[in-house]
Structure 1
Amino acid sequence: MTHQAHLLALSGMFILVLMTIGLWFAYLLGVRAQRRARKGWSCWRLGSFSLGCGLLVIALSPSMVEWGHNDLRGHMTQHLLLGMFAPIALMLGTPGTLLLRSVPVVRARRIMQLAGTPPARWLSHPVTALVLDIGGLYLLYLTPLYQLSFSEPLVHVGLHLHFVLAGYLFCWSIAGPDPAPHRPGMFVRLVVLFAAIAAHSTLGKLMYAHGFPKDAGHSLAEIEAAAQLMYYGGDLAELLLALVFFATWYRHRHAPDNDWQTADRRAQQ
Structure 2
Amino acid sequence: MGLVVTVAAAAVEPLPEFGASALLSEWSLAPVPLVATVWGTGLYVLGVLALHRRGDRWPVGRSIAWGVGMLAFYLATSSGLAAYDTVLLSVHMVQHMVLSMIVPLSLALGAPVTLALRTLPRRPRGWLLAVLHSRVAKVLGFPPLAFGLYVVSPWALYFTGWYDASLSSTYVHEMMHVHLVAVGALFFWPIVGVDPLPGRVSHPFRVLLTVMTLPFHAFLGVTIMGQTALLGGDHYPSLHDGPMGAWLPDPRADQELAGGILWGAGDLVGLVFFVVLFVQWVRASTKEAEREDRRLDREEARARAAQE
Fold shared, TM-score > 0.5 on shorter chain: yes
Provide the TM-score with structure 2 as the length reference: 0.75
Task: State yes or no: 1:59 paired with 2:76.
Answer: yes
Residues 51-130 of structure 1 mapped to structure 2, 5 A cutoff: 51-105=68-122, 107-130=124-147
Structure 1 pair 126–17 and aligned structure 2 pair: CA distance change class (3 A): farther
**One-letter amino acid of the counterpart of residue 73, structure 1:** S
Paired with 1:13 and 1:132, the residues of 2 have a C-alpha distance of: 28
User: What CA RMSD, in Å, does the superposition of the two structures yield over aligned residues?
Assistant: 2.5
Q: Could you tell me which residue of structure 2 aligns to residue 241 of structure 1?
A: 273
5 Å-filtered alignment, 1:161-172, equals 161-172=178-189
Specify the alignment match of 1:265 in structure 2: none
Aligned residues with identical type, % of pairs: 28
Which stretches of structure 1, 4 residues or more, deviate above 4 A after TM superposition? 4-7, 10-13
Give me the whole-angstrom Cα distance separating, in 2, the residues matched to 1:229 and 1:48.
23
Go from structure 1 to structure 2 and tell me whether the alpha carbon gap of 1:45 and 1:184 turns closer, same or farther (over 3 Å shift).
closer
Secondary structure of residue in 2 paired with 1:201: helix
Q: Greater CA radius of gyration, 1 or 2?
A: 2
Query: By how many angstroms is 1:230 displaced?
Result: 0.5
Which structure carries more helix by proportion? 1
Q: Which residue of 1 aligns with 2:254?
A: 222
CA distance in 2, matches of 1:174, 1:181: 10
Query: Which residue is 2:59 aligned to?
Result: 42
Post-superposition offset of 1:136: 1.3
Alpha-carbon contact 2:62-2:110 (below 8 Å) kept: yes
Q: Which amino acid aligns with 2:262?
A: M
Provide the C-alpha distance between the structure 2 equivalents of 1:2 and 1:217, rounded to a whole number of angstroms: 7
Q: From 145, 162, 173, give the equivalent of 1:145.
A: 162
Residue of structure 2 equivalent to 1:197: 214
Match of 1:21 in 2: 38
In the TM superposition, what whole-angstrom CA distance separates every residue of 1:51-79 from its partner, at most 9, and x where no partner exists? Answer: 11111111111422121110001100101
2:48 to 14, 27, 31: 31
Aligned residues: 254
- What's the offset of the Cα at 1:247? 1.8
Gaps spanning 5+ residues in structure 2: where? 1-6, 14-26, 237-250, 289-308
- SS across alignment from 2:197: coil
Structure 1, 57-66 or 177-186: larger mean CA deviation:
177-186
1:213 pairs with 199, 208, 231, which one? 231
Higher mean alpha-carbon deviation, 141-150 vs 214-223, is at: 214-223
The verdict on how the C-alpha distance between 1:85 and 1:29 changes in structure 2, with shifts beyond 3 A counting, is same
Contact 1:94 1:177 in 2 (8 A): yes
Question: What residue in structure 2 maps to residue 253 of structure 1?
Answer: 285
Contact 1:140 1:146 in 2 (8 A): yes
Gaps of 5+ in 1: 257-269
